[in-house]
Structure 1
Amino acid sequence: MTATPHQRSTILEVAREAGASKTSVSRYFGDERERLSPGMQTRIATAAQRLGYRPNQMARSLKGGHSRLVGMLVADIRNPFTVAVMHGVEQACQAHGYSLMVCNTDNDAARESALLALLASYRVEGLIINAAGSPDQQLQTLVDQGTPLVLLDRELGRTEASVVGLDNALAIDMALDHLQAQGYRRLLYLSEPPEQASPRHVRLARFQHGCEARGLTGHAHDQSLEDTEALSQAIRHFLTEGDSGQKAVLCANGNVTLAATRILLASGARLGETGLLGIDELDWCELVAPGISTLAQPTDAIGRSAVACLMRSQDNDATPTRHRHAPTLIMRGSTRNTRP
């Protein structure tokens, strides 16, 4: 017997095909497979493959309380950092026998709240969240209900959860030390609005403090990338002041680096003579002459670390921790100062 393309095979049909009981088939696709003999397991597997049978994971979770699902809520699924970390999360979930369910909030706090409720209804066994808003109360309710929770990159003030992400203070220190060593003295820091994400607050504050401590002249521009005219004006104004050989632009993330590169090249700036350094390594950075220097985040390690935190959090006595990962400096031509 073979199921038609429009007909979903049932567990009873698999049992008949395998010459087994419905209970035995349930055990095979559940958590009691080892109770079946090797021969029985082979017959059931062969029958299920022949019929194209797939167990209903949602029905199993409602019955047994174990969905084997990890939820991941991201603020912007188009962000290269998010995509790269997601890959590490998915690989780690697979290694632990879990499936990953990803939801994108598009930086919309109302959508974030609705998706959190949706993930809870699917009975996810853990949640990794890159918050767009401040859903502390909703998240704390999940924590109180026993759902392991890890905050990715962005911290929230009143949620008891582990945090995994980049060591933002170290990243800015590495950037300033590198630019200063290359002879740059006047720096422009470009970021998206800091009020939307805690890492932006940390990076901006560290930049301002670090410039003062090193005797560097630092300016910051923190507006939405959608306001391209304001960003262009900020960069062009920076380029026209003082000696170009002492100037460098530091970008807070990959999206900002791309926008700044376009404007600098359109303005006729010679990269290297005017420094350019971005946080986040992107594929195109080595392709734009003379190559864009970056601070690469260990995205795969961050993703795997988030899942490891979830696994540890399944122990009710697990204490929330902070896991901050160091970036790697990739130096290319854009920070080789031709006029030291």
Structure 2
Amino acid sequence: MKSADQHHRNGSLRDSRATIMDVARDAGVSKTSVSRYLSGEFKVLSDDIRQRIEASIARLGYRPSQMARGLKGGRTRLIGLVVADVMNPYSVAILHGAEAVCQQHGYTLMLCNTGNDEAREKQALSMLRSYDVEGLIVHSQGRPSRFMYDLLESNLPVVLVDRRVSGIEVDLVGLNNRQACRAATLHLIERGFADILYVTQPIRAVSSREERHTAFLETLAARPDCRGETLELAALDDEAALDHALAAFMSRAGSQRKALLAASGVVTLQLVLALRRLGLTVPQQVGLLGFDELSWSKLVEPGISTLAQPTDEIGFQAATRLLQRIATPDHDHHELLLPGTLIVRGSTSA
């Protein structure tokens, strides 16, 4: 138990401003250990030391002085986060997880939204480099582009999120797409849906979409009693084209129960709206399972079954990996693929 004097001392530190030496004394570690923690050099610290430093930082309300640290070490303590679509809930969750790590270790996160546009990607990189960011977390379009090759030439530490880019060898953190789509497809089959339409945005050259689609096809290939096909949506807002394709699928001959498997949250939303326009009930007439757990998934009757991605954890791990890469730039590149979680609701009832 801390003495009254210790409590008073900690309170005084909160009232003024705790220093790195205050954190070191409170945690019972060296100033060097605290500096390494703040720089993301986690591998050189034991779990016990890291936890003591974390507790002291929280207890003392320690906030690193970015200006002082920058002047001393020639570092800006800035991290760039480039996302393809800031309106996508996936991007928001990634931001939340990454920001938690940056705040914890004294970095500031700068967000750039490219709107799935290659020209804006290039502008984002130019802007971030002008601020001397120390590293980048990138959720790109997923296709090779001048932007990605410029990244390689910049020698900035980079971690990709969700999507690999052909010819670009950097760290990646994302969902285990094959495992997740296999689990989703098997769930539909086990619930008695043997005629499945896989609905996705254009697949070509986007690694996460390719992996999910391949897993869907492979899972169905192992089940000759089941049937499946793929619908690629050229434009999400083309309601007439989507309604026509769904009507054709539903009118196809056969006694097998039909289901829709949506490859992303934005696709799930369009399917829910289309089913309402067509007057089709879920799951009586057609089952529905969608990638991504969205806030409204449980509110739409009878509840939408989803394959939830650990998006917050993906962002957290991406930022953690980037700080490690900044501290030790010569280490081999790695991929971290996290498992998804199947959340079963009424839309896939047997």
Give the TM interval when normalised to the shorter protein: 0.7 to 0.9
Structure number with greater CO (CA < 8 Å, separation at least 6) is 2
Show CA shifts across 1:188-240 (max 9, x none). Answer: 01101113622111112221222112222111111221322211111111111
* Aligned match of 2:43: none
Aligned to 1:331: 344
Q: Are 1:138 and 2:150 counterparts?
A: yes
8 Å contact kept, 1:136–1:157? no
- Report 1:120-139 matches (<5 A): 120-132=129-141, 133-134=143-144, 135-139=147-151
Report whether the alignment pairs 1:78 with 2:90.
no
Contact 2:186/2:219, CA 8 A, preserved across alignment = no
Report the equivalent of 2:201: 192
CA–CA distance in 1 between the matches of 2:130 and 2:179?
Answer: 39
What is the aligned partner in structure 1 of residue 39 from structure 2?
none
Structure 1 245/218 Cα, relative in aligned 2: closer, same or farther at 3 Å? closer
Q: Alpha-carbon deviation of 1:155?
A: 0.6
Q: Are 1:272 and 2:303 matched, yes or no?
A: no
Deviation >4 Å, runs of 4+? 32-35, 55-64
Q: Paired residues, what number?
A: 287
Identity of aligned residues (%): 43
SS at match of 1:202: helix
User: 1:152–1:165: 8 Å Cα contact kept in structure 2?
Assistant: yes
Distance across 2 between alignment mates of 1:196 and 1:156: 8
| Superposition CA RMSD, Å | 2.4
Partner-residue secondary structure (3-state), 1:285: coil
Look up the SS of the partner of 1:283 in the other structure: coil
Could you tell me whether the CA contact under 8 Å between 1:184 and 1:275 is conserved in 2? yes
Report the TM-score when normalising by structure 1. 0.79
Query: 1-side partners of 2:166 and 2:216: how far apart?
Result: 22
Report the secondary structure of 2:204's partner residue. Answer: helix
Number of the residue aligned with 1:309: 321
Distance of 1:33 and 1:185 partners within structure 2 = 61
Q: 1:270 to 1:332 in 2, by over 3 A?
A: same
TM-score by length of 2: 0.77
Say if 1:85 and 1:303, in contact at 8 Å, map to a contact too.
Answer: yes
Amino acid at match of 1:327: G
1:117–1:56 distance in 2 versus 1, CA, 3 Å: farther
Q: Do residues 259 (structure 1) and 293 (structure 2) align?
A: no
SS in 1 for 2:297: helix
Q: Secondary structure at the match of 1:160?
A: coil
Between stretches 310-319 and 108-117, larger displacement belongs to 310-319
In structure 2, what residue type is equivalent to 1:259?
Q
AA of the residue aligned to 1:251 = A
Residue type at the aligned position of 1:217: R
Q: Tell me the distance in 1 between the aligned counterparts of 2:68 and 2:241.
A: 53
Which residue is equivalent to 2:302? 290
1:94 matched to 2:103 = yes
Larger radius of gyration: 1
- Deviations for 1:297-333, whole angstroms, at most 9, x for unmatched residues? 0111101110111122120222110111111010000
Match of 1:151 among 156, 160, 168: 160
Question: Secondary structure of 2:250's match?
Answer: helix
User: For residues 244 and 290 of structure 1, do their structure 2 counterparts lie closer, same or farther at Cα, with a shift above 3 Å needed?
Assistant: farther
The Cα offsets for residues 133-183 of structure 1, whole Å up to 9 and x where unpaired, read as: 52332111123xxx2110011111222211111111011100111001000
Partner of residue 230, structure 2: 220
1:111 correspondence with 2:124: no
Match of 2:32 in 1: none
**What code does the residue aligned with 1:142 have?**
S
